[in-house]
Chain A
């Protein structure tokens, strides 16, 4: 009599644990199956997104190579290097702004760091104001200019700020200015090796 009650108590204690364990096991199995199916597809979709992004700056691109150390894409067309691209992050008004910066293939020394252009990958700036950093009229200003000209007009540079969105504009400009020089040095060192 007492032994059956003990058994019942034990059952009461153990069953929830066993049940939850089974549920978790089923969940793990289901997820690993789904992961197996989608893993390659997700990787493919990511690569496609990167290619599309790079292709906007380098329409002639037929191959790209990513360097993990310095986090720079080297862009090839017809077997020769046509430029470099890398992602940078600026701190905008509404949060981080992700920018892709493309450089021409030059000596990358001193004044010879020339921008091919920039694209905004993601941002959370105010719609109608800071959001205008994605518009061509703002981005076109970066095309083909030397990195030392990447300053706002009020600081004797070549970029007009968007009216009503000075913080967003200068965030982009400053991030490009700072990071482009740094990355150019990294690329130069890498090339020297």
Chain B
């Protein structure tokens, strides 16, 4: 049981997929413009990651080594299509906002990476814990980044149409650069530097 907890914790900080492993940077940069998008993306990634880890782990003893990557990709693509269709049907607005980045979860390295590196060698329980940790690690990183980008870039913070606060002085003259892709690089760079400097993420 201790190992399960260890696996869960691993993805959160020590091997955070975005902040430490630097995986899945493309969706991170692209959809971290608002907290809504970040949360939507996190939910999609969590679902795909957990289900794919479970399925890959369940069939790990039967999967022939030579076709394993093809098998993983078929499983992941199926799950992503399920998410994509469900979102289009029930959350059309969110699906419109996330656009191409939902289908692109198929090629998100976090998911194939965990299938290959973890789920194909571990029990379903441990794989679930790993997926949960990695998925939440991704979520935490992308929500923090989108918090700074939204506040600095638009001067206000609102989550699901509920306004939380307005930054004085920024509302009239927001720093639009933070909404642009350039701003994503700036935020992620400063964040990484700070986390290393303060020792939250250990230097290797």
Contacts and interface: CB of A to CB of B under 8 A. Distances in A.
B82 A34 contact: yes
* Dominant secondary structure of chain A at its interface with chain B: helix
Given A34-B85, A42-B85, A127-B153, A23 B62 contact: no
Contact of A31 (B66, B78, B89): B78
A30 B88 CA distance: 17
B174 A19 contact: no
Contacts of A16: 64, 66-67
Interface residues of A, number: 24
B187 interface: no
* Dominant secondary structure of chain B at its interface with chain A: helix
Interface string B163-191: 00000000000101001100000000000
Contacts of B71: 19-20, 23
Contact of A128 (B74, B90, B92, B176): B176
Contacts of B74: 20, 23-24, 27
Contact of A38 (B63, B86, B179): B86
Interface residues on B, range: 20 to 34
Contacts of B89: 37-38, 41-42, 45
B67 to A, nearest CB: 4
Contacts of A129: 176
Contacts of A46: 92
B201 interface: no
A152 B20 CA distance: 51
A27 B88 contact: no
A15 interface: yes
Contacts of B144: none
B172 to A, nearest CB: 11
Interface in A122-143: 126-129
B78 A30 contact: yes
Interface in A30-52: 30-31, 34-35, 37-38, 41-42, 45-46, 48-49
Contacts of B122: none
Interface in A57-80: none
A38 B91 CA distance: 12
Given A27-B74, A35-B85, 4 more contacts: A20-B74, A23-B71, A41-B90, A46-B92
